[in-house]
Amino acid sequence: MALQPQIPDPIPPPMPPPLSAPEEKLNELQRILGVFFSPAKAFVDIARRPRWWIPILLIGIASSIYLNAYSQRVGFERLIRQTLDQSSRADNMTAQQRQQAIAVGASVARIVAYGGAIVTSVIGVFLTAAVMIFIANNLMGGKIRFNSMMGIVSYAFLPQLLVVALSMLVLYLKAPDDFDLRNPLLFNAAAFVPAGSAQWIKSLASSFDLFSFWIMGLIACGISAASPKIKTIKAFGGVLFAWALFVALRTAYVAAFG
């Protein structure tokens, strides 16, 4: 009896790769609230879809409203006059030169108040993003796009909305003579510096600010979300280095020219 040839069993087709879960997209309100309440989740979406102009507009509009309120209630002339009184350069100015400097300074301040806050916000975000992209990509080995870093920095600045809101409240609670536009909330070490201290000491102390460290923490969280190989604590070290360098340069400038 002849043997029947063995027919091999058919090879089953390869299993298709498992479908990846669709990326969750947050709407703008979820992104803004997420910065305050769930930053790790929010910054993943922000780094992927960096609409950096939205927080800049919010901060710029809020700052313009606040500065115009200050102009009406206190006046920029008083601020410029106080600044000159605390500066050594005023000793070499005649009364006419001093009055002219106050007028020019107040005029410039009014221009900033009427929409200039948006321009200064764009410049601040751009410069901060440029510094952080260099640190993250060149010193930490990240691969973050500049547009993504712009989004990270702009959304990380959102606590400034809370600063503006609280400053507006203090503006109307305090007497105009007692309100200091340069440091209205005193959530920093300058609150413990004696009144007669040198300007550079006040400038240095004001840098140790609660909101500044909050913003730095958010930037670090955003960097880690955009480049998971960079841990948040390492990213915060990079942000802290940039902040320390800026504070040192600003303090040196105030000490030399303040």
Beta pairing partners, 209 = 188
Residue 133: CB partners within 8 Å, gap ≥ 6?
144, 146, 149
Cα separation, 54 vs 121, whole angstroms: 11
**Which pair of tokens denotes residue 105?**
């300074």
Beta pairing partners, 188 = 209
Per-residue pLDDT tens listing for the chain (258 residues): 455 555 555 566 665 555 444 567 899 999 999 999 999 999 999 999 999 999 999 999 999 999 999 989 998 888 888 878 777 666 677 878 888 888 888 888 888 777 778 888 999 999 999 999 999 999 999 999 999 999 999 999 999 999 999 999 999 999 998 898 888 988 999 888 887 788 889 889 999 999 999 999 999 999 999 999 999 999 999 999 999 999 999 999 888 876
Confidence at residue 18, expressed as pLDDT on a 0 to 100 scale: 53
Are 29 and 155 in contact by the 8 Å Cβ rule? The answer is: no
Domain assignments of the chain as residue spans, ordered by start:
39-257
Cα separation, 179 vs 36, whole angstroms: 28
pLDDT in tens, 72-85: 999 888 888 887 87
Confidence at residue 159, expressed as pLDDT on a 0 to 100 scale: 97
**Which pair of tokens denotes residue 192?**
């413990």
Please state the pTM of the whole predicted model: 0.85
Cα separation, 70 vs 65, whole angstroms: 9
Say which amino acid occupies 76: F
Are 88 and 122 in contact by the 8 Å Cβ rule? The answer is: no
Three-state SS for 32? Answer: helix
